[in-house]
Chain A
Amino acid sequence: SQTIHQWPATLVQPVGSPLSLECTVEGTSNPNLYWYRQAAGRGLQLLFYSVGIGQISSEVPQNLSASRPQDRQFILSSKKLLLSDSGFYLCAWSPGRNLFFGPGTRLTVL
Protein backbone atom coordinates (compact mmCIF):
# COMPACT_ATOMS: atom_id res chain seq x y z
CA SER A 1 0.00 0.00 0.00
CA GLN A 2 1.02 3.60 -0.50
CA THR A 3 2.20 5.86 2.31
CA ILE A 4 3.05 9.54 2.32
CA HIS A 5 5.41 11.07 4.86
CA GLN A 6 6.01 14.68 5.80
CA TRP A 7 8.47 16.20 8.21
CA PRO A 8 8.79 17.95 10.44
CA ALA A 9 5.31 17.84 11.98
CA THR A 10 5.69 21.29 13.54
CA LEU A 11 8.17 24.08 13.00
CA VAL A 12 8.72 27.50 14.52
CA GLN A 13 11.02 29.76 12.52
CA PRO A 14 12.05 33.42 12.78
CA VAL A 15 11.26 35.86 9.99
CA GLY A 16 14.01 35.88 7.40
CA SER A 17 15.19 32.34 8.07
CA PRO A 18 15.29 29.63 5.38
CA LEU A 19 12.80 26.79 5.10
CA SER A 20 12.91 23.23 3.85
CA LEU A 21 9.94 20.89 4.13
CA GLU A 22 10.20 17.37 2.80
CA CYS A 23 7.60 14.96 1.50
CA THR A 24 8.14 11.39 0.37
CA VAL A 25 5.78 8.80 -1.01
CA GLU A 26 6.22 5.05 -0.69
CA GLY A 27 4.65 2.21 -2.60
CA THR A 28 4.07 3.89 -5.94
CA SER A 29 6.03 5.24 -8.89
CA ASN A 30 5.70 8.40 -10.96
CA PRO A 31 2.96 9.95 -8.83
CA ASN A 32 1.67 13.49 -9.31
CA LEU A 33 2.80 15.46 -6.25
CA TYR A 34 1.32 18.58 -4.73
CA TRP A 35 2.02 21.21 -2.07
CA TYR A 36 -0.97 22.95 -0.50
CA ARG A 37 -1.12 25.58 2.22
CA GLN A 38 -3.99 26.05 4.63
CA ALA A 39 -4.22 29.30 6.57
CA ALA A 40 -6.01 29.14 9.91
CA GLY A 41 -9.72 28.52 9.47
CA ARG A 42 -9.53 28.56 5.68
CA GLY A 43 -9.49 26.31 2.65
CA LEU A 44 -6.53 24.80 0.88
CA GLN A 45 -4.49 26.84 -1.56
CA LEU A 46 -2.58 24.98 -4.27
CA LEU A 47 1.06 26.15 -4.25
CA PHE A 48 2.92 23.75 -6.56
CA TYR A 49 2.36 20.54 -8.42
CA SER A 50 4.67 18.16 -10.23
CA VAL A 51 3.99 15.46 -12.81
CA GLY A 52 7.58 14.16 -12.88
CA ILE A 53 11.18 14.62 -11.77
CA GLY A 54 12.29 18.19 -12.28
CA GLN A 55 8.85 19.26 -13.55
CA ILE A 56 7.34 21.88 -11.27
CA SER A 57 4.35 24.12 -11.89
CA SER A 58 3.74 27.10 -9.66
CA GLU A 59 0.25 28.33 -8.95
CA VAL A 60 0.84 31.62 -7.16
CA PRO A 61 3.78 34.05 -7.11
CA GLN A 62 5.44 34.02 -3.71
CA ASN A 63 8.76 33.59 -1.97
CA LEU A 64 8.40 29.80 -1.91
CA SER A 65 9.88 27.31 -4.35
CA ALA A 66 9.55 23.57 -4.89
CA SER A 67 11.82 20.88 -6.21
CA ARG A 68 11.46 17.22 -7.11
CA PRO A 69 14.94 15.71 -7.05
CA GLN A 70 13.67 12.11 -7.05
CA ASP A 71 10.54 10.42 -8.31
CA ARG A 72 8.90 10.14 -4.90
CA GLN A 73 10.40 13.17 -3.15
CA PHE A 74 8.96 16.68 -3.15
CA ILE A 75 10.61 19.56 -1.30
CA LEU A 76 9.20 22.98 -0.42
CA SER A 77 11.75 25.72 0.25
CA SER A 78 12.16 29.36 1.02
CA LYS A 79 15.30 31.49 1.27
CA LYS A 80 13.70 34.02 3.63
CA LEU A 81 10.46 33.38 5.47
CA LEU A 82 7.78 36.05 5.89
CA LEU A 83 5.18 36.28 8.65
CA SER A 84 2.53 35.53 6.02
CA ASP A 85 4.16 32.14 5.33
CA SER A 86 2.73 30.77 8.56
CA GLY A 87 0.20 28.01 8.01
CA PHE A 88 -0.44 24.32 7.65
CA TYR A 89 1.50 22.83 4.74
CA LEU A 90 0.14 19.68 3.20
CA CYS A 91 1.78 17.43 0.68
CA ALA A 92 -0.43 15.25 -1.48
CA TRP A 93 -0.02 12.63 -4.16
CA SER A 94 -2.27 11.36 -6.89
CA PRO A 95 -2.10 8.27 -9.10
CA GLY A 96 -4.25 10.22 -11.53
CA ARG A 97 -7.68 10.31 -9.95
CA ASN A 98 -7.91 10.41 -6.17
CA LEU A 99 -5.85 12.81 -4.10
CA PHE A 100 -4.16 11.53 -0.91
CA PHE A 101 -2.71 13.78 1.76
CA GLY A 102 0.17 13.52 4.16
CA PRO A 103 -0.12 14.47 7.84
CA GLY A 104 1.03 18.06 7.25
CA THR A 105 3.55 20.47 8.78
CA ARG A 106 2.39 23.33 11.01
CA LEU A 107 4.70 26.27 10.38
CA THR A 108 4.74 29.32 12.62
CA VAL A 109 6.87 32.26 11.55
CA LEU A 110 7.64 34.69 14.39
Chain B
Amino acid sequence: GIQVEQSPPDLILQEGANSTLRCNFSDSVNNLQWFHQNPWGQLINLFYIPSGTKQNGRLSATTVATERYSLLYISSSQTTDSGVYFCAVEEGYNFNKFYFGSGTKLNVKP
Protein backbone atom coordinates (compact mmCIF):
# COMPACT_ATOMS: atom_id res chain seq x y z
CA GLY B 1 0.00 0.00 0.00
CA ILE B 2 0.86 3.65 -0.20
CA GLN B 3 3.39 5.02 2.30
CA VAL B 4 2.51 8.14 4.31
CA GLU B 5 5.14 9.99 6.30
CA GLN B 6 4.55 12.90 8.62
CA SER B 7 6.99 15.33 10.14
CA PRO B 8 7.94 16.38 12.67
CA PRO B 9 6.84 13.53 14.96
CA ASP B 10 6.71 15.86 17.97
CA LEU B 11 6.34 19.60 18.27
CA ILE B 12 6.26 21.88 21.31
CA LEU B 13 5.05 25.44 20.86
CA GLN B 14 4.46 28.43 23.03
CA GLU B 15 0.93 29.77 22.80
CA GLY B 16 0.67 32.28 19.97
CA ALA B 17 3.37 30.69 17.81
CA ASN B 18 2.88 29.46 14.25
CA SER B 19 3.75 26.00 12.92
CA THR B 20 3.85 23.93 9.75
CA LEU B 21 3.18 20.19 9.68
CA ARG B 22 4.13 18.12 6.67
CA CYS B 23 2.71 14.98 5.07
CA ASN B 24 4.55 13.14 2.27
CA PHE B 25 3.00 10.28 0.33
CA SER B 26 4.59 7.76 -1.99
CA ASP B 27 2.05 7.52 -4.82
CA SER B 28 -0.81 9.33 -6.53
CA VAL B 29 -3.88 9.87 -4.36
CA ASN B 30 -7.60 10.49 -4.89
CA ASN B 31 -8.17 11.98 -1.53
CA LEU B 32 -6.19 13.54 1.29
CA GLN B 33 -7.56 14.56 4.65
CA TRP B 34 -6.14 16.15 7.78
CA PHE B 35 -7.44 15.12 11.22
CA HIS B 36 -6.95 16.31 14.76
CA GLN B 37 -7.08 13.73 17.55
CA ASN B 38 -7.87 15.35 20.88
CA PRO B 39 -6.52 14.06 24.21
CA TRP B 40 -9.66 11.92 24.64
CA GLY B 41 -9.01 10.10 21.38
CA GLN B 42 -11.72 11.65 19.23
CA LEU B 43 -10.69 12.22 15.61
CA ILE B 44 -12.04 15.37 14.00
CA ASN B 45 -11.88 16.16 10.30
CA LEU B 46 -10.03 19.38 9.59
CA PHE B 47 -9.71 19.43 5.82
CA TYR B 48 -10.56 17.41 2.77
CA ILE B 49 -7.82 18.60 0.40
CA PRO B 50 -6.68 16.35 -2.47
CA SER B 51 -5.15 19.43 -4.12
CA GLY B 52 -4.95 23.20 -3.74
CA THR B 53 -5.28 25.36 -0.66
CA LYS B 54 -8.03 25.74 1.93
CA GLN B 55 -8.38 27.86 5.02
CA ASN B 56 -10.55 27.53 8.09
CA GLY B 57 -9.93 30.18 10.72
CA ARG B 58 -6.40 29.85 12.08
CA LEU B 59 -5.80 26.64 10.15
CA SER B 60 -4.95 26.28 6.50
CA ALA B 61 -3.75 23.44 4.33
CA THR B 62 -2.05 23.09 0.98
CA THR B 63 -1.63 19.94 -1.09
CA VAL B 64 0.71 19.74 -4.08
CA ALA B 65 -0.40 16.44 -5.56
CA THR B 66 2.19 16.41 -8.36
CA GLU B 67 4.97 16.61 -5.77
CA ARG B 68 3.19 14.27 -3.34
CA TYR B 69 3.03 16.36 -0.22
CA SER B 70 0.62 18.33 1.90
CA LEU B 71 1.19 21.01 4.54
CA LEU B 72 -0.97 22.01 7.49
CA TYR B 73 -0.42 25.51 8.88
CA ILE B 74 -1.46 26.48 12.37
CA SER B 75 -1.26 30.18 13.16
CA SER B 76 -1.50 31.86 16.56
CA SER B 77 -1.60 28.47 18.27
CA GLN B 78 -3.76 27.93 21.34
CA THR B 79 -3.58 25.30 24.07
CA THR B 80 -6.71 23.70 22.62
CA ASP B 81 -4.72 22.94 19.45
CA SER B 82 -2.76 20.33 21.40
CA GLY B 83 -3.18 16.73 20.33
CA VAL B 84 -2.07 14.60 17.41
CA TYR B 85 -2.48 15.66 13.80
CA PHE B 86 -2.85 12.97 11.17
CA CYS B 87 -3.00 13.03 7.43
CA ALA B 88 -4.78 10.23 5.61
CA VAL B 89 -4.72 9.40 1.91
CA GLU B 90 -6.83 7.32 -0.41
CA GLU B 91 -4.78 5.57 -3.08
CA GLY B 92 -5.24 6.75 -6.63
CA TYR B 93 -6.03 3.31 -7.98
CA ASN B 94 -7.47 1.67 -4.88
CA PHE B 95 -10.62 3.46 -3.93
CA ASN B 96 -12.16 3.29 -0.47
CA LYS B 97 -8.93 2.50 1.36
CA PHE B 98 -7.61 5.30 3.58
CA TYR B 99 -4.04 5.07 4.90
CA PHE B 100 -2.77 7.17 7.80
CA GLY B 101 0.58 8.66 8.62
CA SER B 102 2.08 8.18 12.06
CA GLY B 103 1.02 11.66 13.14
CA THR B 104 2.55 14.81 14.62
CA LYS B 105 2.05 15.21 18.35
CA LEU B 106 1.61 18.90 19.16
CA ASN B 107 1.88 20.35 22.65
CA VAL B 108 0.99 24.03 22.96
CA LYS B 109 2.11 25.51 26.26
CA PRO B 110 0.46 28.53 27.88
Contact A100 B97 (CB under 8 A): no
The docked-state distance in angstroms from the alpha carbon of A51 to that of B1 is 19
The docked-state distance in angstroms from the alpha carbon of A100 to that of B48 is 11
The docked-state distance in angstroms from the alpha carbon of A32 to that of B85 is 23
Contact of B45 among A36, A42, A99 (CB under 8 A): A99
Answer whether residue B98 sits at the interface, using C-beta atoms and an 8 A cutoff.
yes
The docked-state distance in angstroms from the alpha carbon of A64 to that of B105 is 29
Contact of B48 among A59, A88, A97 (CB under 8 A): A97
Which residues B71-110 have CB closer than 8 A to chain A? 86, 88, 96-103
Answer whether residue A44 sits at the interface, using C-beta atoms and an 8 A cutoff.
yes
* Size class of the contact patch on chain A: 20 to 34
Contact of B42 among A98, A103, A106 (CB under 8 A): A103
Using Cβ atoms and an 8 Å threshold, which residues of chain B touch A98?
Answer: 33, 45, 48
Using Cβ atoms and an 8 Å threshold, which residues of chain A touch B31?
Answer: 97
Contact A43 B45 (CB under 8 A): no
Answer whether residue A49 sits at the interface, using C-beta atoms and an 8 A cutoff.
yes
Closest A residue, CB atoms, query B44 = A101
The docked-state distance in angstroms from the alpha carbon of A79 to that of B98 is 27
Interface residues of B (CB under 8 A from A): 1, 31, 33, 35, 41-43, 45, 48, 86, 88, 96-103
A51-B96, A88-B41 known, 19 other contacts, Cβ within 8 Å: A32-B96, A42-B102, A43-B101, A44-B86, A44-B100, A46-B97, A46-B100, A49-B97, A57-B97, A59-B1, A59-B97, A92-B98, A94-B96, A97-B48, A98-B45, A99-B33, A99-B98, A100-B45, A103-B42
7 A-B interface contacts by CB (under 8 A): A42-B102, A46-B97, A59-B1, A92-B98, A97-B31, A104-B42, A106-B41
